[in-house]
Amino acid sequence: MCLEVIAQILPEAKGRVSARRLSEASRLHISKVQFRGAPTLHFSVRGGCSCEFLSDSAEFEAPVWALDPGHLPALAGAISLLGSQARPFTFLAHWMDGETPAETSKVKLSALIEDIEQNRVRNNVLYLIG
């Protein structure tokens, strides 16, 4: 299985930001894909799945992902830019083609950024940022 880190800009968002702009700003590989029939931004380090975000100590069933600290500033920066340009949006880190998210958590953008920076991104939890 592979980790998938994605974000969806919701239809009611007043603004948009492109995958290319996010990639250029963060130096991550961000592409546009489909998730459940809707346009979605897919985050990876160099392309392909998002597994390169995982640290060597990652436990796949843990409630919180153990991500590689070296990639967290870039991911936080990309999500910060996304949030400044296009809200509401959702953010999800889960197993690719996995189950439906276990829960939805409405949070402020600053709380999601803090979870990323502090390496506390929850496993299979759909973050809703308004």
Q: How far apart are CA 92 and CA 109, in angstroms?
A: 14
Q: How far apart are CA 33 and CA 93, in angstroms?
A: 15
* Segment 69-122, tens digit of pLDDT: 999 999 999 999 999 999 999 999 999 877 789 899 999 999 999 999 999 999
Q: What is the pTM of this model?
A: 0.96
